[in-house]
Amino acid sequence: MPDENPDKPQPVETPIAGPEQQPPTPVAPTTTGASSSATQPPGTKPAVRPTPSQPRRPVLKRRPKPTPSPLFGQITTETGHTPLTEEFDRARWTLPPVGVVLIALGIVAVVLAAIAFLGRAKPVASGGINDVGAVQVADNSVLAVIQFTMYNTTEKPIWIKEMGAKIKTDQGEFSDTAASASDFERYFQGFPDLRLHAGNPMLVETKIAPGGKQSGTILVSFPISKDTFDKRQSLSVVVTPYDQRDVVLTKAGATP
């Protein structure tokens, strides 16, 4: 049925251009604000120039609020994290069980005892006192000669550095350093009874070979009377080797 309105515009078919026939894209002319506004028809809004896009700010994530722990009532914020309040106010966070601690302490005590037993100082020599003689002198003191023998019980030689003696009485304990061997003859001339109990002087720097022995005499003085000396409780010879502990040879009682 024909259209009753002949004045109605008819659609115009526009041929589709192929790839080779595509029309060029029109480019809008660049104009200033004044010229652009001048060319716009009245009653229209001025064109807004697009602005470059602003860089987006990074979004900061908020830290989750602390939530109370359901087990201990403490505040935790992360999985596997122990808060400071739990780390220092409870012994179970810092100490192992009591049984483990006691076992460890027992092992340490045993190890220390073994080290002390194995590393204890061993005597470097042995021996004894062979003879003792004493005389009274004018200043209420005594001169005594002590003859002794010492055995080297180590695998190394011993060099004697110095010697002395000490006596224990009811008046106290006294000690003295041995007189020089060069003074023996002078004392023997003044007190001949001393010679009866003396042998060859024991000299400093004397060497005692491993497993060997050495005998000799020392001369000492004590600030006590002859009667107190004879009633002594004990008498000891003290020998100091180089780089070794003192060797103490003791004889109890007054019997020589």
pLDDT at 33: 46
Give residue 131's domain range. 125-252
Is a pLDDT exceeding 90 seen at residue 55? no
Across 32-36, 121-125, 226-230, least confident range = 32-36
179 Cβ neighbours under 8 A, 6+ residues apart: 187, 218, 219, 220, 221
Q: Do 233 and 191 share a structural domain? A: yes
86 Cβ neighbours under 8 A, 6+ residues apart: 72, 74, 93
Domain end marker among 118, 145, 175? 118
Q: Do 158 and 107 share a structural domain? A: no
Mean pLDDT of 210-218: 92
Residue 219 included in any domain? yes
pLDDT at 129: 92
Rounded Cα gap, residues 80 and 70, in angstroms: 14
Q: Write down how long the chain is.
A: 256
Residue 22 included in any domain? no
Q: What is the pLDDT of residues 92-103, one digit of tens each?
A: 556 667 777 788
Q: Do 172 and 74 share a structural domain? A: no
pLDDT at 37: 47
User: Would the pTM count as exceeding 0.95?
Assistant: no
Place of tokens 């061997």: 181
Beta strand 141-152 pairing with 213-222? antiparallel
Residue 177 included in any domain? yes
Q: Do 162 and 193 share a structural domain? A: yes
Q: What is the pLDDT of residues 147-182, one digit of tens each?
A: 999 999 888 899 999 999 999 999 899 999 999 999
Q: Do 85 and 137 share a structural domain? A: no
Q: Do 149 and 111 share a structural domain? A: no
pLDDT band at 217 (very low <50, low <70, confident <90, very high): very high
Q: Do 130 and 107 share a structural domain? A: no
Residue 3 included in any domain? no
DSSP strand E in 178-232: where? 207-208, 213-222
Residue 18 included in any domain? no
- Estimate to the nearest angstrom the gap between the alpha carbon of 105 and the chain centroid: 18
Is a pLDDT exceeding 90 seen at residue 121? no
Query: What is the average pLDDT score of the chain?
Result: 75
Report the CATH number at residue 179.
2.60.40
Alpha helices in 126-203, H assignment, sequence order: 184-190
Q: Do 222 and 145 share a structural domain? A: yes
pLDDT at 220: 95
Percentage of the chain surpassing pLDDT 70?
59
